[in-house]
Structure 1
Amino acid sequence: MTDDLAHSVLRYTDQQSGKSPFATAIAGLTILRSDHPKPLSHMIIKPALCITLQGAKWTAFGERRFDYGAGQALVVGVEMPAVGQVMQASPDQPYLGLVIELDLGVMREVIESLDSAPIALESVRHGVLVSDFEGPLADCAARAVRLLETPQAIALLYPAVMREICYWLLTGPHGGEVVKMALGSDRTRRLVGAIHALRDRYADPVRVDELASIAQLSPSAFHRQFKALTAMTPVQYQKQLRLFEARRLLASGETNVENAAFQVGYESASQFSREYSRMFGASPRRDVASLRRLAA
């Protein structure tokens, strides 16, 4: 099944005029292709299935790195900044992948509809896992890709595909982990609420006391559990959000380095440039020039 799906994705990318990643007519479905190993890429990953159909790559969240090759999927349950790299790709055997954003509302509906819902595993601490991608899940992904050939059918049929994806994730071998990771306990949901507050106000100074209050935790417990879930401290999480957004602003030509620094919350343009260089391996101006050459 994954071979057939890889062939369908390869055919789809051959027909596109732009460059990977390819946004599709299905909201939340992105197709990836790389004919060569790629340099590091920086991204914000929402709750999603990140599937490798051909080739291999790795994705790191803070201090944790996850490798996944053909026939495997990275399951992400919490929105987080990440760094990734395609390691295995060639013109004859390009890296091929799919990103399917998960609808956690549908996930909750499916749990409530199950006669015997999986029990959330207390031992699961992280918001990410790697799973084999085969059988019914691969069939769901194949049907989603086939829907791209009939855009008029997407609105009617894709919601059922998403519901089935949630079903197979919840009833599969990692069901207990998926429940804990994507939906969590009341405590985890409050922690995710604090993460969303930090994401929405990333340009403001971090106030751990305020975030801890949202999570209904003491500041020390909040800091500990935040890092357990994301592999980052709140300050590290915020810094990555700021720098990713600044990079987007600069690459789009919307602003200059100094204004980008202030827009994302830095008070010092020199500090911004130092941290930007550490994150992306080059000064803002050199990095953006390189990005534009690659996009040309």
Structure 2
Amino acid sequence: MQHGNSTIEDIAAALRQYADRQAGEGPYITAIEGVIILRSFCAKPPSHSILKPALCVVAQGAKWTSFGDKRFQYHAGQALVVSVEMPSVGRVIEASPDAPFLGVIIEFDSAIMRSVIEEADIFPDKCDRAHCGAAVVDLNGALADSVLRLIRLLDTPRAWSTLAPMIRREICYWLLDGPHGADIAQVVLGSNHSMSIINAIQNLRERFCETVSIAELAAIARLGPSAFHRRFKELTSLTPLQYQKQLRLLEARRLMVSEGANVETAAFEVGYESPSQFSREYSRMFGMAPKRDSVKTKHLVTIT
């Protein structure tokens, strides 16, 4: 087993080898479900997406990802751990043709994560608040080795079904055994207040086109409105209204770019009653008017 920089260099080499066989610069959706390879030959403008719970590894270059008012910067040898689904803005900040940005996203399987927590007797610390749903960790030792073996497994299709779940379990174990393990476990197990907030988030995700009140979401979370609002922001770095607004605007962008919907149709589809309000909020989030953006953007970037 290799550790430290040598393993990071090996991960970069494995990612480069995979990416060189693909067209374009990425992202590449691999044949192993939930494993996405990233490559970029230059720094990119910020891109908006909804990040699922995942380990987002950087093997070469650097990037930042922000959730609401919190920004996380991470570089080669580090990874962003996302433990709850959240709207985000991400940007590659270090990349060149000679040294492209290389990374991999490994989405978490909640069933595997829960199984590992239970079998390893990992219990989150008792806490009366929701932890932030993201953190930057150093990628080294056994965690880095597990990531490297999962990437290399892409070259052996016959072994995917047998070995990929086992390596995913290893990755979960080493994350849970690390400095942020208790926070991750708390979100996955739903101890204390985290699961109540996640239940409300799921309800908001399913009904983001509707008018949903804070009182209604707070009732789902079994919290008072003020406590719910505070803990929601602690976990996601967004208020419930900001979270819903970003979901609406991201879906509207997808409708216009991928399905050819016009501005008015997209606005009404995602719950806006006023196209002018929609255009103002869209421009504020994406930096240009929706009609201009839908023409300019050839494909919607959904992975950061």
TM-score range for the pair, normalised by the shorter chain length: over 0.9
- Deviation of 1:183 (Å): 3.2
| 1:120 corresponds to 2:105 | no
SS at match of 1:148: helix
Residue aligning to 1:85: 91
AA of the residue aligned to 1:43 = S
SS at match of 1:292: coil
SS at match of 2:292: helix
In 1, Cα distance between equivalents of 2:125 and 2:172: 15
Listed as ranges, the gaps of 5+ residues in structure 2 are: 1-6
Cα shift readout 1:92-140 (whole Å, capped 9, x = no counterpart): 11011111011122112112112x5254363772111110011111111
- Aligned partner of 1:250 among 236, 256, 266: 256
SS at match of 2:87: strand
| 1:158 corresponds to 2:164 | yes
- Deviation of 1:255 (Å): 1.2
| 1:142 corresponds to 2:162 | no
In 2, Cα distance between equivalents of 1:133 and 1:60: 20
AA of the residue aligned to 1:95 = F
Residue aligning to 1:57: 63
In 1, Cα distance between equivalents of 2:71 and 2:167: 30
Contact 2:187/2:195 (<8 A) preserved:
no
Identity of aligned pairs, percent? 55
Cα shift readout 1:198-218 (whole Å, capped 9, x = no counterpart): 011110112212211110011
Spell out the pairing of 1:236-247 with structure 2 (5 A cutoff).
236-247=242-253
Residue aligning to 1:46: 52
- Aligned partner of 1:272 among 278, 285, 291: 278
Runs of 4+ in 1 over 4 A off after TM superposition: none
In 1, Cα distance between equivalents of 2:160 and 2:219: 41
SS at match of 2:195: helix
In 1, Cα distance between equivalents of 2:272 and 2:124: 44
In 1, Cα distance between equivalents of 2:38 and 2:234: 29
Listed as ranges, the gaps of 5+ residues in structure 1 are: none
In 2, Cα distance between equivalents of 1:5 and 1:293: 28
Structure ranking higher on relative contact order (CA contacts 8 Å, 6+ apart): 2
Cα shift readout 1:172-219 (whole Å, capped 9, x = no counterpart): 233223223443414211110100100111101122122111100111
SS at match of 1:52: strand
Q: Which moved more, 1:271-280 or 1:176-185?
A: 176-185
- Deviation of 1:18 (Å): 4.0
Contact 1:121/1:177 (<8 A) preserved:
no
In 1, Cα distance between equivalents of 2:220 and 2:17: 47
AA of the residue aligned to 1:130 = V
Q: Which moved more, 1:70-79 or 1:203-212?
A: 203-212
Residue aligning to 1:15: 21
Spell out the pairing of 1:202-221 with structure 2 (5 A cutoff).
202-221=208-227
- Aligned partner of 1:169 among 164, 170, 175: 175
**Cα RMSD for the two superposed structures:** 1.7
Contact 1:206/1:235 (<8 A) preserved:
no
In 2, Cα distance between equivalents of 1:294 and 1:180: 33
Q: Would the alpha carbon gap of residues 121 and 55 (structure 1) be closer, same or farther in structure 2, given more than 3 Å must change?
A: farther
- Aligned partner of 2:108 among 102, 112, 116: 102
Residue aligning to 1:76: 82
How many equivalent residue pairs?
A: 294
AA of the residue aligned to 1:117 = I
In 2, Cα distance between equivalents of 1:69 and 1:121: 32
Residue aligning to 1:259: 265
- Deviation of 1:21 (Å): 1.1
